[in-house]
């Protein structure tokens, strides 16, 4: 992995799909990560981060589109 967060996340997401024949010869062009955190007091918080190759932050509409599709789009059981 190279670079810091978002570049490092981009590289890690890309590497996580090695061996996925459905994505063979595909290029990762954008992503969204949602994470849940638990504080020492038990309070829970959600955060989100999005990115593109080179660490650029995508426009808000694109990030919202990724999240909407992830929740409401058809799931491919072969992925």
What is the SS3 string spanning the chain? Answer: CCCCCCHHHHHHHHHHCCCCHHHCCCCCCCEEEEEEEECCCCCEEEEEEEECHHHCCCCHHHHHHHHHHHHHCCCCCCC
> The whole model's pTM is what?
0.73
Overall average pLDDT of the 9-29 stretch: 91
39-55 pLDDT, tens per residue?
A: 999 999 999 989 888 87
Check pLDDT > 70 for residue 77.
no
Which pLDDT value is given to residue 2?
44
Distance CA 76, CA 79 (A): 6
Check pLDDT > 90 for residue 4.
no
């Amino acid at each position: 992995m190279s670079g810091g967060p978002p570049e490092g996340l981009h590289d890690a997401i890309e590497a996580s799909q090695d061996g996925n024949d459905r994505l063979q010869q595909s290029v990762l062009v954008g992503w969204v990560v949602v994470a849940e955190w638990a504080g020492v007091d038990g309070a829970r918080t959600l955060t989100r981060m999005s990115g593109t190759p080179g660490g650029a932050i995508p426009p808000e509409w694109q990030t919202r589109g990724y999240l909407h599709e992830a929740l409401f789009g058809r799931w491919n059981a072969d992925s």
